[in-house]
Copies of this chain bind each other. A is one copy, B any other.
Amino acid sequence: MTGRVLALSGGVGGAKLCAGLAAVLPPEELVIAVNTGDDFEHLGLVICPDLDSVVYALADLADPVRGWGRRDETWTFMAALRGLGGPDWFALGDADLAMHVERTRQLRAGAGLGAVTAAICRQLGIGATVLPMSDDPVPTRVQTAEGWLDFQDYFVRRRCEPAIRALRFEAVERARPHPGLLAALRDPALRAIVICPSNPFVSVDPILALPGVRAAIAAASAPVIAVTPIVRGAAVKGPAAKMLRELGRAVSCQSVAEHYAGLADVFVYDAADEIAPTVPGVRMVAAQTLMHGAAERTALARAVLAAAR
């Protein structure tokens, strides 16, 4: 079976599966469209947390312990910034900072985020195609009891503490999906659309909210395989479980499967879950979805691709 695979990814969990897919697919057969709703400007730098998680994972630069940022990282900048009384609520490693500085430099010189990402991937020897979901900013805003918060304000500064009421993807109706994302969806040889095990609300929904993306997914002949980020009633990482609860849904892979109803053809839940989710018309596949290392990433990638057949 050949043809391209399109992965829709958020940060950490999605990045791990993307690394698995990159390990089992020829580079020209993998296109990854990454959420940019988390992107923000901080200290004058354009920071794209999910893009960077995917890029670092594919370049084998990701920190395996922290789950974000680069391995072999140093923190001299942050300590010095603190000494100068600068805003230190968002942790920026010294090596990671180079990504933000260089990306910002290229953006200010007039390049689009997609072109900058491509240049950085080339430089890091990444063969797969990594795309931002859009070159246009679509900042996620979070409605809480305290009012609307910018995403990183909610996510990092407030550590996801305020209860969430709603989400908004600012200016999404005017944003254009990255042309490479639409081209992949329209490719007759597309063999699978993979929704990575990322937060459905803040990592995957922004991609799906872009004008034309849901319709293009529906029109694509390739099967859509969604992978659960919820295992045994808990989020593997991040606030997905808390968000499900606050939005009045059960914290279960069943809720995630329902979230993707009408979109996914196959739903991959974790084999550790005793009860398989059920959604009419969706084939349920059990797999080991926790990825502690390269072997597990590769195994899940193979399971996902097998489910697409």
How distant is A59 from chain B, measured CB to nearest CB, in Å? 9
Given A74-B76, A76-B73, A76-B74; A81-B94 close (CB under 8 Å): no
Q: Chain B residues near A73 (CB, 8 Å)?
A: 76
A43-B105 in contact given A120-B84, A124-B84 (Cβ < 8 Å): yes
CB <8 Å contact, B94 and A80: yes
A103 to chain B, nearest CB (A): 8
Chain A facing B: main interface SS = helix
Copies in the complex: 2
CB closest chain-B residue, reference A59:
B83
Interchain CA distance A130-B74 in the complex, whole Å: 31
Q: Which residues of B contact A76 (CB under 8 A)?
A: 73-74, 76, 93-95
Report the bound CA distance from A76 to B120 in whole Å: 18
User: How many whole Å from A101's CB to the nearest CB in chain B?
Assistant: 5
Q: Pick the contact of A84: B78, B87, B93, B99 (CB < 8 A).
A: B99
Extra contacts, 17 of them, besides A76-B93, A84-B98 (Cβ < 8 A), are A43-B101, A44-B45, A44-B104, A44-B105, A44-B108, A74-B76, A77-B98, A77-B101, A79-B95, A81-B101, A83-B98, A84-B124, A85-B102, A85-B123, A86-B102, A86-B105, A87-B105
Report which A residues bind B (CB closer than 8 A).
43-45, 70, 73-74, 76-81, 83-87, 93-99, 101-102, 104-105, 108, 119-120, 123-124
